[in-house]
Chains A and B, each alone.
Chain A
Amino acid sequence: MSEDRKIRILVAKPGLDGHDRGAKVIASAFRDAGFEVIYTGLHQTPEMIVSAAVQEDVDVVAMSVLSGAHMTLFPRVKELLDEAGADHVLLTGGGIIPEEDMAALEAQGIGRLFGPGTTTTAAIDYVNEWFASRPSV
């Protein structure tokens, strides 16, 4: 971690899907890698996620979406983050997301997304690199 401060990351499960194995594994992995992880629990609406992200002043929001609703959920959270003045926050995540959709979302300003089979190391490296290279806030 550069800047020698703790990176704060919000791990969220939006929508009605309750399969949280991936979210919990990611949350534990980030904790083991030295991050401060705020885990929101299940059944989050975009509003709940952004409210938490703002209050916790996180650097990163990571959403786990397995239900196929990613094309609605990611843009909506990005929209709300921007509205709340938190446009410096990296919005990333993973789940069952086809590559074309990942590209489409990246074009909308959302960060890289990770499909099934991604290692936790890849996700952690990505966040660290992003943090190190982002413009100072």
Chain B
Amino acid sequence: MSTIERELLDRAELEEAVRDRDREISELKARLAEWEEVYDSVPKRDAVFSTVSGREVRPLYTELDRGGGADALGFPGSYPFTRGPYTSMYRTRLWTMRQFAGFATAEETNARYKYLLEHGQTGLSVAFDFPTLMGFDSDHARSLGEVGVCGVAISSLADMEQLFDGIPLDQVSVSMTINGPAIILFCFYVAAAEKQGVDPKVLRGTVQNDILKEYQAQHAWVFPPEPALRCIVDMFEWCSEHTPKYNPISISGYHIREAGATAAEELAFTLRNGFEYVERGIARGLDVDAFAPRLSFFFDIHNDFFEEIAKLRAARRIWARGMKERYGAKNPDSWRLRTHCQTAGVTLTAQQPENNIVRVAYQAMAAALGGTQSLHTNSMDETLSLPTEKAVRIALRSQQILAYESGVANTIDPLAGSYFVERLTDDLERDALDLFEEIDALGGVVPGIEQGWFQQRIAASAMRQQREVESGDRVVVGVNHFLEGSEKLEIETLRIDAAIEKRQVKKMAEMRAGRDDAAVQATLAALRDACATEENVVPRILDCARAYCTLYEIRAAMEEIFGAYKEPVFF
């Protein structure tokens, strides 16, 4: 057969295939129309068919909803990572079961950590009390009544040493949830590891250190935006050289979501914040591939099962595309979005608390199907106070049952190809890109923060959700519907002993008495100098930490140079 004949034949086959395909689609459309006719003629439940974000959900999705081709989907472990950041995902290693914990004193937290490690937890997560989160020492006047109440009080290296006493920091990965004064606590951690004889190069873990979302949502700031961003880039620089296995930031959507944002807003604001940090690093002159691989993420897992799965898939795709195409990163590790997830605290109810076990189970499943790298599951009694041991154990067991009994971890990204899930993924990506444009129009993230744009959007979404619940349009079982069984239940809630504050104050007095005052003053002075110039502040803070300067002393020294942040308020 001549080439031309062969070509003609191929072409004919091709045209035939196209005609076949067209026929298939017309048939599909016709059958869909038939189905719709029947569907329209039958009564419907009186309910709101939308996700909790307000996204309308159609009754049926079909092949006609499939958007972008195979390259939008890709394969797990390769660009654009829609199906997962790693090639073998849970077939090689399950997600890390990392339960957030911390309360009262370093000793008690230390005991809880040992308990969790014994019970199969594979990484430690530190929750700090409010004074620490805001950069105040336990014995500061502003800390009154709040020491150790919501987390562990860490006012100096001494406390950090006690926190990890007997816990080998070269073997256990530690995640610290702290933002405003994060750089200081990070240095306490590195210095504590030093005292154990551990080389920083082997340290594994994360410090949240995501200040942009603080201005937008959680409000645990210390310094104003520019100096805060400078400190973060200092950490990128220092960590890429000295702690290459450590994640110096966990770019978070959790708090944004909990403050009231929708799934699309959570997705867009988080990723845009992430890109902002990347831009700052590049502006510093860092090679993007030197620090981007260590950027990690933290998302909320809310109630709408499929929306949350799609959100994680869309997140990976958006990040990969941005890093590769916009920022020119070459290392696939820079394109790869890795995330920790936490089930949504805001969905827990105080009424009929055992229901929360079920909510958390479904949310955890969504996280696994979405491909999370690590997961914290909330305890059922957390609406009332810090969780009891039993509740925490159940939360951990939820993950273990999910991982070992449900089968969802047997295959990678099992929902790929689902018409609904792929459509949702595409829609969320598009919504996020639209929001990026709006943010750019404002001049960027920091101008957006100054103008209160993020805060206003979040507050508006929060108000809408509140109205939906109060009007009954959105059912919350046990709260606005199915109220039987809401009698008082004996949930043993955890009480923080008020004497803890006194003990902490006493401990601090003893520490202050025992340290070298000259070293304290000298290291603080050197730190101030570094803040006023372009010198990387991390080594200076480490010196302060080793001299047992307290958290507040270090923060105050930095604030002298950086100034304090004044909150603008927007509704």
Interface residues of A (CB under 8 A from B): 15-21, 24-25, 27-29, 39, 41-43, 45, 67-69, 71-73, 76, 96, 98-99, 115-117, 119-121
Contact = CB atoms under 8 A, between A and B. Distances in A.
B9 interface: no
Secondary structure at chain A's binding surface: helix, strand, loop or mixed? loop
Interface in B385-433: 385-386
Interface residues of B, number: 44
Contacts of A69: 145-146, 149
Interface of B: 130-131, 133-134, 136, 142-146, 149-150, 214, 218-221, 258-260, 348-351, 383-386, 458-459, 462-463, 466, 469-470, 476, 479-480, 488, 493, 496, 567, 569, 571
Nearest to A31: B571
Interface majority SS (helix, strand, loop, mixed), chain B: loop
B453 to A, nearest CB: 15
A28 B385 contact: no
Residue among A24, A120, A121 with most chain B CB within 10 A:
A24
Closest 8 CB pairs of A and B: A18-B219, A72-B145, A16-B130, A68-B149, A69-B145, A116-B350, A16-B134, A117-B479
Given A16-B131, A24-B462, A69-B146, 6 more contacts: A16-B146, A19-B218, A28-B459, A96-B384, A117-B350, A117-B479
A18 B218 contact: yes
A28 B463 CA distance: 8
A98 B219 contact: no
Contacts of A29: 466
Contact of B571 (A15, A24, A117, A119): A24
Contact of A115 (B131, B142, B350): B350
A72 B480 CA distance: 31
Contacts of B567: 41-43
A41 B219 CA distance: 11
B470 A67 contact: no
B349 A15 contact: no
29 contacts: A16-B131, A16-B133, A18-B214, A18-B220, A18-B221, A19-B219, A20-B219, A21-B258, A21-B259, A21-B260, A24-B462, A24-B571, A25-B462, A42-B219, A43-B567, A68-B146, A72-B144, A72-B145, A96-B383, A96-B384, A98-B384, A98-B385, A115-B383, A116-B350, A116-B383, A119-B469, A119-B470, A120-B466, A120-B470
Contact of A121 (B150, B470, B496, B569): B470
Nearest to A117: B479
Contacts of A19: 218-219, 258-259
Given A67-B130, A67-B146, A117-B349, A16 B571 contact: no
Contacts of B385: 68, 96, 98
A24 B470 contact: no
Contacts of A43: 134, 567
A16 B133 CA distance: 9
A24 B383 contact: no
A98 B381 CA distance: 11
A5 B469 CA distance: 30
Nearest to A73: B145
Nearest to B351: A117
Contacts of A119: 469-470, 480
A68 B145 CA distance: 9
A121 B469 CA distance: 11
Given A68-B496, A73-B145, A99 B488 contact: yes
A15 B569 contact: no
A28 B458 CA distance: 13
